[in-house]
Chain A
Amino acid sequence: MDSEDDFMSGLSSEEDNVLQDESDDEGSADDFGFDEPEPDPDVSQKGTVQKKKRSFDINFKVYHPGDIQAQQDELINEVNMILDIRKEDAAILLRHFRWNKERLIEDYMDRPKKVLESAGLGPSTSGPPKLEVIPGFTCDICCEDEAGLESFAIKCGHRYCVNCYRQYLNQKIKEEGEAARIQCPQDGCNRIIDSRSLDVLVTSDLQQRYHDLLTRTYVEDKEYLKWCPAPDCENAIECGVRRKDLDKVVPTVTCDCKHRFCFGCILADHQPAPCDLVKKWLKKCADDSETANWIAANTKECPKCNSTIEKNGGCNHMTCRKCKHEFCWMCMGLWSEHGTSWYNCNRFEEKSGSDARDAQAKSRVSLERYLHYYNRYANHEQSAKLDKDIYQKTEKKMIQLQTASGMSWIEVQYLNSASQALQTCRQTLKWTYAFAFYLARNNLTAMFEDNQKDLELAVEALSEMFEKPVTELADTKLKVEIMDKTSYCNKRRVILLQDTADNLANGVWSWSISF
């Protein structure tokens, strides 16, 4: 390599402790029965490697901004050497091919001219990019022609004054958020402006934005890379799980910023429920149709004027407040036909209204089923929302404990672990209820429900201990109990997730609806 070494590599990573993606011996990726997509072999192995331990764990790596830059530089260097083209051009070609190096090299070997042309790198004259003053030059954009006007052109030779060029780039970068594919300002010319030319032209504040945008395009172009969605987090995660695998695996990743999320849909951790189920469930819960369901299940319409009536107690003899129609709540028939059987409707066998009753009953059952799962889901969600409070309370408690009982900082960490366990387990429990809602009964369901029950009991017990006043917490016996319960909760969670993940991977769950 030559003097161009430093091209675009201002951020090359200082982390030299290269971790290898060791394949572990126990649970292998093949558990899922899909051909494990090898993370790009050409991608540098920098970044934190998360080892796959249990069947619901997946392999992923966390990349920091420096790593992402280094990956790009490495790819650019490789293409630069293999194809013997300038680095600027290699970068443009790679972006054009959405960073698919193999395809780029293959296509380039076959038809170099065509590839260059389509990437906006037509026939070129050489020389590094620089501003020039050309006598007699008139800018075609602003029509200025004053003497000494600085102008600029990229390889295609379409020359414009530096002010117009800057204005153009400014608008593209700042307003349109473009970076990787900004073309020459000439009408009809699709040549792409390389980053070196940009460095000559744009102001430093814009350069930062430009390079940010380039990096963003890189991550977005790569199927196996996704940004961590946590606010202000600049890391990206690499994970080999593809879209088509999402019915078999719930790819949950943890960023170095501690945020745990699903690589498939970017929502917060929703194990054990697969992405499609989550989407359906969230939509169902957001849907107002459930309100309508409640109305359908809990009210009836007056058979005469159709006003909606909720029965709030009392006997079956209804008198519509609006139209004064008198009817029987049970059979919806005329009250006058009931004779003297005032309080019990014994006309059940009669046809009138029996269809309506069937529909009503059905709706009620499905509503109750939904509410059963929803209430439990919502309850755990509520608790999860209080996570922050709990955590803060914990911190306070730990300090109190230290002063009250003379325990050291390290000795009170068990409360922190307990709080963490509660949060994680509740998050899992919450989604088990959405999961269960869509689950059709078969011989696996009982096992799942047992696991769910065990975890829930353990979590609630731990939660209760955790809320005890500081004076009691200082008791060594309780401390041991809490520690035991914490590890029990974590164990139960692993068992539950392992079981659901295995069955999901093997496709043995049956669902009450199709996804």
Chain B
Amino acid sequence: MSAQKRIAKELAEVTSNPPAGMIIGLVDESNVHNWDITMDGPEGSPYVGGKFKLLLTLPVEYPFKPPTINFKTRIWHPNVTFDEQGSMCIGILKGDTWKPSSRIMNVLIATQNLLIEPVPDDALETSSAELFKNNRPLYEKEAKKYTAQYAIGK
């Protein structure tokens, strides 16, 4: 399908000019549908200093259906499940918001922003969302603790 051309173009775009603090490549050179992303914990978030591995998967129907993102490195965050899946909930990747012209570059930037500013109302993990809303210092402390445990020096 003609999607190959689109995917190749987007891949070239983000590898040649990636968003700050990201390294992007393919998991397997022969398959353009699985992207391997390493994202630095952004400045101004409790995740700073951590290196997070993400898997971005493009469905066969891409770009008519949105890609999915999984955190391979555990992250303690209201919008990411705290398990091996590391599933992430973000507006742009929802079926009714995603448009065929939406760009992976924007998805990556949105993901980075989500680490800086979680959306507790769309939370997947209620315990961290609760803390983020009601006890910010404790939330930061916990997030830092888990970042150190899972994402630093691994």
Which of A36-44, A97-105, A181-189, A405-413 is the contact stretch?
Answer: A181-189
Cross-chain contact of A141 among B65, B95, B101, B106 (Cβ < 8 A): B101
Q: Across the interface, do B61 and A171 meet the contact criterion of CB distance under 8 Å?
A: yes
Contacts of B64 in A (CB 8 A): 167-168, 171
Distance, CA A167 to CA B101, complexed state (A): 13
**Residue-by-residue, is A149-189 near B (CB-CB < 8 Å gives 1, otherwise 0)?**
00000000010100110011001000010000001111111
Q: Evaluate contact between A142 and B2: CB separation under 8 angstroms.
A: yes
Q: Is the CB of B101 within 8 A of A187?
A: yes
Distance from A292 Cβ to chain B, minimum over Cβ atoms (Å)? 34
Q: Mark B92-121, 1 if CB is under 8 A from A, else 0.
A: 000100011111001000000000000000
Q: Chain B residue with minimal CB distance to A164?
A: B100
A142 to B106, Cβ gap below 8 A?
A: no
For window 1-29 of chain B, which residues contact chain A by CB distance below 8 Å? 2-3, 5-6, 9
> How far is it, in angstroms, between the C-alpha of A513 and the C-alpha of B13 when the chains are bound?
67
Find chain A residues with CB under 8 A from B2 CB.
Answer: 142-144, 163
Could you tell me if A187 and B6 are in contact, using CB atoms closer than 8 angstroms?
no
Do residues A143 and B65 form an inter-chain contact, with CB atoms below 8 A?
no
B5 shortest CB reach to chain A, Å: 5
Q: Mark A13-49, 1 if CB is under 8 A from B, else 0.
A: 0000000000000000000000000000000000000
**Quick check: is A368 within 8 A (CB to CB) of the other chain?**
no
A344 to chain B, nearest CB (A): 63
Whether B42 is near chain A, meaning CB under 8 Å from some CB there, is: no
Q: How many Å lie between the Cα of A143 and that of B4 in the bound state?
A: 9
Q: Are A160 and B101 in contact (CB under 8 A)?
A: yes
B101 near A186: Cβ-Cβ < 8 Å: yes
Give the residues in chain A near B100, CB-CB below 8 Å: 141, 160, 164, 167-168, 185
A142-B2, A187-B106 given as contacts; is B101 within 8 A of A158 (CB)?
yes
- Is B49 in the interface zone, CB < 8 Å from A? no
Chain B positions within 8 Å of A472 at CB level: none
- Shortest Cβ distance from B33 into chain A, in angstroms? 16
Among residues 195 to 210 in chain A, which have CB atoms less than 8 Å away from a CB atom of chain B?
Answer: none
* Beta-carbon contact of B99 and A185 below 8 Å: yes
Give B54-87 as 1s and 0s: 1 = Cβ < 8 Å from A's Cβ atoms: 0000000101110000000000000000000000
Q: Is the interface of B mostly helix, strand, loop or mixed?
A: loop
> Does A223 reach chain B (CB closer than 8 Å)?
no
Contacts of A276 in B (CB 8 A): none
Is A140's CB within 8 Å of the partner chain B? yes
Partner of B6, one of A142, A168, A185, A189: A142
Min Cβ gap A496→B in Å is 50
Given the complex of chains A and B, what is the CA–CA distance between A189 and B99 in angstroms? 9
A108-166: which have CB < 8 Å to B?
A: 140-144, 158, 160, 163-164
The count of chain B contact residues (Cβ–Cβ below 8 Å) is 16
Of the listed residues B5, B65, B101, B103, the one surrounded by the most CB atoms of chain A closer than 10 A to its CB is B101
Q: How far is the CA of A242 from the CA of B5 in the complex (A)?
A: 55
Which residues on B sit within 8 Å (CB–CB) of A143?
2, 5-6, 9
A189 to B102, CA, bound (A): 11
B residues within 8 A CB of A141?
6, 63, 100-101
Of all chain B residues, which has the CB nearest A142? B2
Which residues of B lie under 8 Å from residue A158 when comparing CB positions? 101
Say yes or no: B102 contacts A187, CB within 8 Å. yes
Q: In the complex, are the beta carbons of A171 and B6 less than 8 A apart?
A: no
A184 → chain B closest CB, angstroms? 8
Complex CA–CA separation, A171 to B96 (angstroms): 12
Across-interface contacts of B103 in A (CB, < 8 A): 187
Residue in B64, B65, B103 with the greatest tally of chain A CB atoms within 10 Å: B64
Contact B5–A183 (Cβ < 8 Å) = no
Q: Are A176 and B95 within 8 A (Cβ)?
A: yes
Pairwise interchain contact B3-A142, C-beta atoms closer than 8 A: yes
In the bound complex, how far is the Cα of B103 from the Cα of A164, in angstroms? 15
Cα A164 to Cα B5 with chains together (Å):
13
CA distance A142 to B10 in the complex (A): 11
Complex Cα gap A485–B101 (Å): 72
Provided the pairs A142-B2, A143-B6, A167-B64 are in contact, do residues A187 and B99 lie with their beta carbons within 8 angstroms? yes
- The answer to whether A171 touches B65, judged by C-beta atoms less than 8 angstroms apart, is yes
Whether A140 lies near B101 (C-beta < 8 A) is yes
Q: How far apart are the CA atoms of A140 and B9 in the complex, in Å? A: 11
Enumerate chain B residues within 8 angstroms of A184, measured Cβ to Cβ.
Answer: 99
The residue among B9, B63, B64, B100 with the most chain A CB atoms within 10 A of its own CB is B100
A269 CA to B123 CA, complexed, in Å: 44
Cβ contacts under 8 Å, B6 to chain A: 141-143
Contacts of B63 in A (CB 8 A): 141-142
CB contact between B99 and one of A142, A163, A167, A186 (< 8 Å): that residue: A186
Q: A residues within 8 A CB of B106?
A: 187
* Closest chain B CB from A71 CB (angstroms): 28
Q: Nearest-CB distance from B111 to chain A (Å)?
A: 16
Cα A187 to Cα B107 in complex, Å, equals 12
Contact present for A142 and B102 (CB under 8 Å): no
Q: Report Cα–Cα, A189/B100, bound state, in Å.
A: 12
Per the bound structure, the CA–CA distance linking A168 and B61 in Å amounts to 10
Taken together as a complex, chains A and B put the C-alpha atoms of A141 and B63 apart, in Å, by 7
Contact with B along A77-89 (1 / 0, CB 8 A): 0000000000000
B95 contact set on A, CB distance < 8 A: 176
- Which chain A residues lie closer than 8 Å to B99 at the CB level? 183-189
List the B side residues contacting A168 at CB < 8 Å: 64, 100
CA distance A186 to B102 in the complex (A): 7
Closest 7 CB pairs of A and B: A142-B2, A187-B102, A141-B100, A143-B6, A187-B99, A143-B5, A185-B100
Other than the known A160-B101, A183-B99, A187-B102, what 10 A-B pairs have Cβ atoms closer than 8 Å?
A142-B2, A143-B2, A144-B5, A160-B100, A163-B2, A167-B64, A185-B100, A185-B101, A186-B99, A187-B99
Measuring CB to CB, which residues of chain B are less than 8 angstroms from any residue of chain A? 2-3, 5-6, 9, 61, 63-65, 95, 99-103, 106
* 5 A-B residue pairs with CB within 8 Å: A144-B2, A160-B100, A167-B100, A185-B101, A189-B99
Q: Which residues of chain A have a CB within 8 Å of any CB of chain B?
A: 140-144, 158, 160, 163-164, 167-168, 171, 176, 183-189
